[in-house]
A and B are shown apart, each in its own frame.
Chain A
Amino acid sequence: MFAPYLLNAWVVASLVAVASGCAGFFVVCRRESFAAHALPMAAFPGAAAAALFGLGQVYGLVVAALGGVALLLWLKRGQRSDAATALLLVALLALGSLFLSLSGRYADSVYALLFGQIFAVGPGDVLPALVLGLAVPAVLLSGFRPLLLSALSPDLAMVRGIGCTRIEILFLSVLALAAALALPVTGALLVFSLMTGPASAACIMVRSPRAALALSVALALALIWQALALSYLTSWPAGFFTGVLAALLYLAPRIWRTARPAPRSPGLA
């Protein structure tokens, strides 16, 4: 009963969920939510430029997202003001919209890149998704302990000989790849939801870091499958369901926790 385009969508979306669930765990632990928001924004004009010049979208996304990492590090280093950072992000969106308008497929592409168009995934998208979808978790898992320790305390990490700047650059680069992978599926505006919703729910629900990472991936998978199914049934956009379900995931354990007397965790909202 499933058409091949559905199978492609399902495979790519699942890879996106695994990579995002993994990356999201570290985003939450390392307090890098802002990067998880900014890197997809930086990737957006890359995809738009690829459309304009007729290149493969994934290359545009990857190059622009990695450029976003450099920009982010530069912003952090100089402690630029919030206003400057926000203006820069909006300028990137504007740049992307210019490229799309020049490419002559404005409305459709803007919609797809900002809000995702999972059912438009073609057979050609599967291979790059497979590469990124396996590389991102592989790198993050192999750096699991240094990433975690440097998130807890850069000083404690340095004592153990971990270079915190290197770890930061590595992590942001992997996050950029994860964002580039997720962007066509969830859209630039919703990569953030997929990364932070499941992960922050997982971090509240369990105490052990390995269990939280596994749960984060499981929740991201459940979320994206749910969004796909609902979108297929209602023909509403998958991005809508992704955004709403992620917000619910974020809120649910928090509400549950406040509603119920929590004997072992005082002071937690």
Chain B
Amino acid sequence: MSLTVTNLTVRYGGREVLRDVGFALEPGAFCGLIGANGSGKTTLLRTILGFETPSAGRVERDGTVGYVPQKLQIAADMPVRARDLVALGLDGHRLGFSWPSAGRRRRVEEMLASVDALAFADQRVGELSGGQLQRVLIAHALVSGPKLLLLDEPLANLDLRAAAEIVALLKRVAGQGVTVLISAHDMNPLLGAMDRLVYLANGRAASGRTEQVVRTEVLSELYGYHIDVIRVHGRILVVAGNAEAHHHHDHDHVAAIP
């Protein structure tokens, strides 16, 4: 297992945000971490990273970890290009003011190419669009060759097409043996790619293979609200309310359910 979370409980002040959360991911798994706003997705990822100390339970990680945070505001006048940010993923912890070696520069270049970011590699990170920045952040997280990649709502501000491209990119990464854990409040963009799912509600987690969890009975139970799982053109969609209504593009509708 490349990530094992056992009986994890996390409190802020006296309040329990996560209770008895447990799941395990194999190398190369592509796992969605799904939950409404405030359900504890960020908290769980930060606890896995070791930024928060759980009051009970354990996190076991195998190998190094890459992380794409939820919020990253970089001022437009920061003199840092996309390629500099990726290079910092490789040697940002090192001391000394050396220019990157030819080998490191090549590694950064390859990484930028693999996330399709060469076109804006010399632009300032503060001036990138949301989708471009996401790619660069993924390259930053992957360039050091981690075994586990955690992404916090990387699709939140992307249009449908950009989201699909990022998902396809992450699927390729998982195909290379990296375990991907990606949080989202809307599972639709992930349905074609994820093979595992951790669902957070009321501080508890339900987890399993996607087919086991993405079923009308299970989801309706979890959301506490009627959910339809419908199939269109060979794809699965999760919608609130009845399947006749054409709601399948209405992501906020699903996300808004507490």
Residues on A lying within 8 angstroms of B by beta carbon are: 29, 31, 141-146, 148-149, 151-153, 155-162, 200, 202-204, 206-212, 264-268
Contacts and interface: CB of A to CB of B under 8 A. Distances in A.
The main secondary structure of chain A at its interface with chain B is helix
B96 interface: yes
B74 interface: yes
B171 interface: no
A145 B79 contact: no
Contacts of A268: 76-77, 127
A149 B140 CA distance: 11
A152 B79 contact: no
B49 interface: yes
B72 A153 contact: yes
Contacts of B93: 145-146, 149, 157, 160-162
A217 B216 CA distance: 64
A73 to B, nearest CB: 21
A219 to B, nearest CB: 13
A22 to B, nearest CB: 10
Interface string B80-94: 110011001101111
8 contacts: A145-B96, A152-B78, A156-B88, A160-B89, A204-B77, A210-B99, A212-B79, A268-B77
Nearest to A158: B51
Interface stretch (B4-12, B63-71, B109-117): B63-71
A159 B49 contact: yes
Given A29-B79, A209-B84, A212-B79, A158 B49 contact: yes
A148 B125 CA distance: 13
A178 B91 CA distance: 27
A3 B97 CA distance: 37
B85 A142 contact: no
Given A141-B97, A159-B67, A146 B76 contact: no
A159 B46 CA distance: 10
Contact of B88 (A31, A149, A207, A208): A149
Given A159-B49, A264-B123, A268-B127, A29 B78 contact: yes
A64 B94 CA distance: 31
A152 B127 contact: no
A54 B178 CA distance: 65
B162 to A, nearest CB: 19
B92 A146 contact: yes
Which of B72, B77, B125 has most chain A Cβ within 10 Å? B77
Contacts of B65: 159
B119 interface: no
Nearest to A25: B79
A152 B96 contact: no
Given A145-B93, A152-B85, 15 more contacts: A144-B96, A145-B96, A146-B94, A149-B92, A156-B69, A156-B72, A156-B92, A158-B51, A159-B66, A160-B89, A162-B93, A207-B122, A207-B124, A264-B127, A265-B127
A36 to B, nearest CB: 16
A207 B69 contact: no
B95 interface: yes
Contacts of A161: 93
B125 to A, nearest CB: 8
Contacts of A31: 75
Contact of A207 (B81, B91, B95, B99): B81
B154 to A, nearest CB: 14
Q: Which of B74, B75, B97, B99 has the most CB of A within 10 A?
A: B97
A267 B76 contact: yes
A2 B218 CA distance: 87
Given A29-B79, A145-B92, A152 B74 contact: yes
Given A159-B49, A268-B127, A152 B67 contact: no
Interface string B9-36: 0000000000000000000000000000
A152 B78 CA distance: 9
Contacts of A208: 79, 81, 84
A155 B69 contact: yes
Nearest to B140: A156
Contacts of A267: 76, 127
A171 B79 CA distance: 19
A152 B85 CA distance: 9
Nearest to A149: B92
A145 B51 contact: no
A142 B92 contact: no
A265 B76 contact: yes
A160 B79 contact: no
Nearest to A204: B77
B44 to A, nearest CB: 15
